[in-house]
Amino acid sequence: MTDAHTDASTDGPDFHTLSVTVTGDDRPGVTGTLLGALSGFGAEVLDIQQVAVQGHLTLTVLLRPGDQVEQLRDAAAVAAHRLGVTLTVVEGSGDNARSRQGRAAVVVLGAPLRASAVSKVTSRIAEHGANIDRIRRLSRYPVTTVEFDISGADVPSLRTELALVSTTEGIDIAVAPGGLARRGRRLVVLDVDSTLIQQEVIELLAAHCGREAEVAEVTARAMAGELDFEESLRARVATLAGLPASVLDDVREAVQLTPGARTLVRTLKRLGFTVGLVSGGFIEIVGRLAEDLGIDHARANRLEIEDGHLTGRVVGAVVDRAGKAQALREFAEREGLPLSRTVAIGDGANDLDMLDLAGLGVAFNAKPIVQEQAQTSVNVPYLDSVLYLLGISRDEIEQADLDDGTPTQAPPVPHGRH
């Protein structure tokens, strides 16, 4: 048995239609007044769309008017005059064409977001052969974020084309499949050091034995992809030999979350998403962070401790570049989610396999090698900006906080690209 759907209102391409559009100051009651005036004539509503931008309203109603076209026109004119809005009525035939295939969401972030940059983005979309069906603002602070809902796009090639615009215009651009692919539950996996938190934990530990500068230099080279991660990790951990295990408590207290980290995790959990942490750092710190934030999964290296002191070794296999990708895969399998429903966020070369494997890989204030290879980059210092890439607006985030009494504090507005 097959499903069948018959739309009696559109039984042919040439049926008569009337498009009624009003524009003017936005205020309560405009839609109700106009539709009330159009009722009583047997007209059928085929489509209705409304948008209010900066206090200016545009409302369009597509009607199948029946036999009383002039009466409908007169009623619309009277209602528009009473409302003090501008009226446009256009006669035509047929409904809108079916939406084109290749739906995609293009999210643009800028601090500031200049008109010249938006012009380059929209021109590139047009040159690609795609159509912009809808535009909406997702945030006005601490960054300006605009989402373009487009059709007729090839996501991988458009992503490549817009990457050049991102570089030349100093903005961040994400291109993702639209439609149902943009909805539903996801797994979001974050790197920890310099992503979820602002520091590198091993450098905090090394500071307790006076070798912070030495370890920081090795860390930087490893994150830039210049050194083998496992080899460099074992060498850095060796410098910690003899430290009392109590320094772990000091480091836990010293760790500072990246601005927006709590908001990101809190909002993802409200949406029913699963959140995981995967780190080349240490579970003694990562585990506590996961517990504090209510995060579902955590994987990291474990420091060997004997007689209350660090031995300078790690226990078991090192969580390296391949290990991070494997953790993402395993977390997704546990949650019953395909990899297309996963998001990975990281900043270092050891995150590249994880970012490539995920349905959406986000380089967060990342090293150049990572930004070059990741699907998209975020270069503002607010981790919750990742929510905009998923189509979640700042207003929705703040309304959810307001509804459950969570205190919100607006981060400072940046003065330039970070």
Q: Which residues are designated catalytic?
A: 191, 193
The DSSP result for 351-393, as a single string, is GHHHHHHSSEEEEES--HHHHHHSSEEE-SS-GGGHHHHTT--
Distance of alpha carbon 138 from the chain centroid: 10
What CA–CA distance (Å, rounded) separates 226 from 273? Answer: 35
Residue (of 138, 106, 142) closest to 394 by Cα position: 138
Q: Which of 280, 323, 321, 324 is nearest to 302 (CA)?
A: 280
What is the spatial distance between Cα 76 and Cα 206, in angstroms, rounded to a whole number? 75
| Distance from C-alpha of 395 to C-alpha of 54, rounded to nearest angstrom | 15
197: DSSP letter = B
Q: Burial letters for 131-162: b for 16+ Cβ neighbours within 10 Å, e otherwise? A: eeeebebbbeebbbbbbbbbbbbebeebbebb
Q: Which residues contact 162 (CB under 8 A, 6 or more apart)?
A: 106, 121, 124, 125, 173, 175
